[in-house]
Amino acid sequence: MEEVKLMKGNEAIAHAAIRYGADGYFGYPITPQSEVLETLAELRPWETTGMVVLQAESEVAAINMVYGGAATGRAVMTSSSSPGVSLKQEGISYLAASELPALILNVMRGGPGLGTIQPSQADYFQATKGGGHGDYHLIVLAPSTVQEMADFVGLGFDLAFKYRTPAMILADGIVGQMMEKVVLPEQRPRRTEEELRAQCPWAACGRGDRDHRNVVTSLELQSDKMERNNERFQKTYRAIEANEVRYQEYFTDDAEYLIVAFGSVARICLKAIEDARAKGVKVGMLRPITLWPFPTAEIARLAKQVKGILTVELNAGQMIEDVRLSVEGTVPVHHFGRMGGMIPNPGEVLEALSACFTDLKF
């Protein structure tokens, strides 16, 4: 029988990374995600699977260690929280440009600046629209439960290797610090040198019997070649958009109003929806699981059915832009959010619904 454990989202990330057969973790502590590094240090995977765990001297060093590990085809990851993820942006852009698979976890806290250590979703723009320089995208997964924290480690690595592009788990302080039941994945062995060479023919892991050297770089000074590189990246992004959109719908069958929310906030909204439905108000929710690629077509489909949409986010209104692009002006789209580490409770979500949609009576 599967063993059910109780742990924090951050702890689940660490366990799941070892069980995935990850080759390396490079990080630097910052609240509210320090338990990732702490748990890995406690579990000592270097003595079992051989996974490297290293506390780097800074966030910048950690992301460049990830770049180095990824260039050799290894499954490597880093984690941080908002200010630390800002520091990593140059490295993330280089990873994307060098077509390297890697996993980055951001357990968001309230910003801007050093801000607060309390939960936030204010890095949505940074995660989904670039963050670093240049035309690139990350695959962005938004977990709402501790189970999804565990599951998205494997999913993130698999997608990153499938498309040779970095993936990000965009979590927040709630899902990082909260303890829930979780079933961890089976322990997988780390890939052998032979498996790695077969799966990653591009990796710079020694020439061996290849007839050429693999060179991993983001530098291309000839503009015509750099444009072709960009066209290749864009082709990858179109394939990801076509194949990898993930979302979950709640009570949408008969919904007259729609909430769009991601991560832990979707849980708060679900409770508000349960309360609204108890009062006979037909509210539903779409929870994007991939924030990039965004479930544009699915929201457009639901827009035909509902009188209005409310996005609820721990920010000043970021995902709302993608929701508005999805519905192209066909229905009103409103935003409700708290900032700076404040968390709305379900009652506030209900109040926001009735404030935005005056024909809605509770």
Partner 1 sequence: MKEEIVIAGFGGQGVLSMGKILAYAGLMDNLEVTWMPSYGPEQRGGTANVTVILSDSAISSPVLDSYDTAVVLNQQSLDKFESKVKPGGTLIYDPSGIHHLPSRTDITVVAVDAMSAAIELQNSKTYNMILLGALLACRPIVGIDAVVRGLRKTLPERHHHLIPLNEQALRKGMSLAGK
Q: Which of 205, 217, 185 is nearest to 20 (CA)?
A: 185
Least distance (Å) between residue 327 CB and partner 1: 26
> Given the complex with partner 1, which of 110 and 166 has the nearer CB atom?
110
Nearby residues of 310 by Cβ (< 8 Å), 6 or more positions away: 257, 258, 259, 260, 333, 334, 335, 336, 352, 353, 356, 357
Residues from 109 through 128 that contact partner 1 (CB under 8 A): 117-118
**Which range of residues in 79-87, 185-193, 268-276, 303-311 is near partner 1 by CB under 8 A?**
268-276
Which of 79, 177, 236, 315 binds partner 1 (CB under 8 A)? It is: 177
Take residue 41 and report the two structure tokens written for it: 């240090």
Give the span between the Cα atoms of 305 and 298, in whole angstroms: 12
Rounded to 5 degrees, what are φ and ψ at 206? 100, 140
Among 21, 24, 27, 32, the residue binding partner 1 under the rule CB under 8 A is: 32
Is there binding between residue 300 and partner 1 (CB under 8 A)?
A: no
Q: Judge residue 89's burial from the number of C-beta atoms within 10 Å of its C-beta, 0-12 exposed, 13-18 middle, 19 or more buried.
A: middle
- Contact residue for partner 1 among 270, 286, 306, 352 (CB under 8 A): 270
169 burial (CB, 10 Å; 0-12 / 13-18 / 19+) is buried
**Contact call for residue 343 and partner 1 (CB under 8 A):** yes
Out of 69, 73, 111, 173, the only residue in the binding site for partner 1 (CB under 8 A) is 173
Which 8-state DSSP code applies to residue 286? E
By CB under 8 A, is residue 271 in contact with partner 1? yes
Helix (H) or strand (E) holding 346: helix 346-356
Q: Closer CB to partner 1, residue 114 or residue 239?
A: 114
Count the site residues for partner 1 by CB under 8 A: 26
Residue 140 beta carbon to partner 1: minimum distance, rounded to whole angstroms: 22
Our CB check for partner 1 shows the closer of 19 and 338 to be 338
345 contacts partner 1 (rule: CB under 8 A): yes
Shortest Cβ distance from residue 120 to partner 1 (Å)?
13
Is 21 among the residues that bind partner 1 (CB under 8 A)? no
- Using left for φ > 0, alpha for ψ between -120 and 50, and beta otherwise, residue 264 falls in alpha
Output the CA torsion sign for 183, 261, 312, 353: negative
Site residues (CB under 8 A) for partner 1? 4, 6, 31-32, 117-118, 173-174, 177-181, 264, 267-272, 274, 343-347
